Amino acid sequence: MELTQAHTYAIQGISVEKICQEFGTPVYVYDAEVIEKQVNKLKEAFSGLKLRIKYASKALTNISILKLMKLYGCEVDTVSLEEIEVAIRAGFSPKEILFTPNSIHIDELAQAVAKGVFVNIDNLYILEEFGKKYGNSVPCCIRMNPHIEAGGHDKIKTGHKESKFGISIDYADAIVAVVEKYNIDMIGLHIHTGSDFSDVEVFIKAADMLFDFAKRFKNIKLFDFGSGFKVAYKKGDKTTDVNLLGEKIKEAVKKFASEYGSEPEIWFEPGKYLVSDSGILFVKTNVLKKTPATTFAGVDSGLNHLIRPMMYGAYHEIINVSNPTAQHTDFSVVGYICETDTFAWNRPLNEVREGDILAIMNAGAYGMTMSSNYNSRPRPAEVLVYKGKAHLIRRRETLEDVLRTQVEVAF
């Protein structure tokens, strides 16, 4: 979103206020150019490797976004059978889909195998069941837990010792024993230390552990390093230096390949990194309310549409689209849900008036996908701006949508 010389905000030349008038508020708007730019950054940073980018679809699962990712040369990472189906409907072949679930029954994993997707196993018990069922007839990947703590919030740190994700590195011998017992066609190793990490050295430490463990197997063809690349939510935020990471990964891969005898594919599963900055949640100011503590700007949205500030304490920049030249005054931006759903507390904003459109930035990842119908509120529309045109990619819900799956009992 850019501020034009005429002091109006636009996305790819389209007036933001025009978009909001056409599609209403609240509305999620995604800029395809931003997504393409982020994809290209990764391709450039890891050029020279046998690279495969597996978009983590849980970040934003709209089928049109998935089709866009395919257009830009990405494959897809899924965490549920339903996400697999959405990816297939978006045009991905099963061979382009990775399935990385946790806490599932072997029957669900078997359904994924039957669809022809590549599975990633993060449980020693499930690995044994997989071996009993398939032997060496189905290739797989194993997700390791390196006991390395990294990430921006406790809820998104996934590689530490107490995490439910992955098979503990302490069970390395047990993994080798199960693989050998059933002659499992284990061709890849996976690791994901956490989301929002910025320390490249921590990432390399985890990668070195994976490379070292891989030498205990004869047929390793790929390493999946997950993602979790940190993006900037406000000015001054430290982000992941993907170019530096690319240099270090290339060095490590070259060393491994010379010792192992073959060069592996390198996979990444970026989600937030690709779509976060592309998405903006536009809301309208319903009411202003002055109290002894603050001035509230109450908007037509809430934690039912964007839960990250309340769930993770996440910071999202907020811009007053309708009054960009006014002086700054502190406002607390809050939602219309019967909970404390505060998007920002005492945030300096261009003076907010009733009816003003506010832009909640960096809302492309884990915004709409984590939305709900709490308070029986419908979910918003989604719009994709592609090549200078705004496309509706999800209509706004109605009360009928909220009630659609409910079954009334006749008393």
Return contacts of 171-174, CB within 8 angstroms, 24+ apart: 171/124, 172/213, 172/216, 174/124
Instruction: Check 20, 74, 141, 338 and give the catalytic one.
Output: 338
Q: Produce one character per residue of 233-244: b if its CB has 16 or more CB atoms within 10 Å, e if not.
A: beeeeeebbbee
12: left (phi over 0), alpha (psi -120 to 50) or beta: left
Rounded Cα distance, 30 and 388, in Å: 12
- 249 contact partners, CB below 8 Å, separation of at least 6: 46, 49, 204, 207, 225, 266
- To 10 degrees, what angle do helices 32-45 and 242-260 make? 40
Contact indicator for 12, 384 with CB cutoff of 8 Å = no
Q: Look up 20 and say whether it is catalytic.
A: no
Contact indicator for 191, 222 with CB cutoff of 8 Å = no
User: What CA–CA distances, in Å, run from 354 to 19, 139, 410?
Assistant: 19, 58, 44
Chain-centroid distance, C-alpha 212? 29
Rounded Cα distance, 330 and 356, in Å: 15
What letter represents residue 36's amino acid?
E
Residues recognised as catalytic = 338
